[in-house]
Amino acid sequence: MESSAKTKILIAEDESVIALNLRDMLERAGFEVVGEAATGKQAVEMTPKLNPDVILMDIKMPEMDGLTAAKEINKAHQRLIIMLTAYYDADFLARANQAGVFGYLVKPVAEQDLVPAIVTALARYEKERATQQAVMKLEQTLADRKLVERAKGVIMQQWRITEAEAYRRLQKESQDKRVSMAELARVILKETGML
């Protein structure tokens, strides 16, 4: 499995036999296990140091339960987290969704369930991240356009020129100064006290 060879995984499981079994299955499948945490708190502390792509997190752990740890991790580092649980219930699913969890597996975890769950979650996670980045880019483009429009209005008033002429002035000045039109617009609006 070529894509999994680069995938770094942190196992957060307080039962050492289960953690060892998970490590064995993951390494056989070509994943890189970068660490094991025995508590939720350790998982939170290890995440920025080990920079895993995926965290397999047991729900019931000492010091900090898995859902609380998942919430803490996603607040600071935004990681793909798959919960491991010995039971299933609707409350767990609701809390897992609120914590930003991308999937869950019921223990005992079988290798034929583990690998597809990780590969599927990775694909969904990457797609969601790409969508979020596209939305952020569109929001920034819209904000930049609004700045340019406002600056264009200031120039039209100051110089008593048409909208097209104001736009050309903005465009020429941004080229001359080698800055984006949005950056130039921000400067103009700051200077005129309109930002």
In the chain, where does the domain assigned CATH 3.40.50.2300 lie?
3-109
- pLDDT band per the 50, 70, 90 thresholds, residue 3: very low
Q: Which CATH number fits domain 135-191: 3.90.550.10, 3.90.1010.10, 1.10.10.10, 3.40.640.10?
A: 1.10.10.10
- pLDDT band per the 50, 70, 90 thresholds, residue 92: confident
Task: State the average pLDDT over residues 160-180.
Answer: 95
CATH number, domain 3-109: 3.40.50.2300
116 preceded by a cis bond (ω within 30 of 0): no
In the chain, where does the domain assigned CATH 1.10.10.10 lie?
135-191
Instruction: State pLDDT tens for residues 113-122.
Output: 999 999 999 9
Burial 17-40 (b: 16+ CB within 10 A, else e): ebbebbbebbeebebebbbbbbbb
Gap between the Cα atoms of 177 and 164, Å rounded: 20
Residue 194: pLDDT above 90?
no
Q: Enter the pTM of the model.
A: 0.75
Average pLDDT, the chain: 91
Residue 24: pLDDT above 80?
yes
Instruction: State pLDDT tens for residues 116-152.
Output: 999 999 999 889 889 989 999 999 999 999 999 999 9
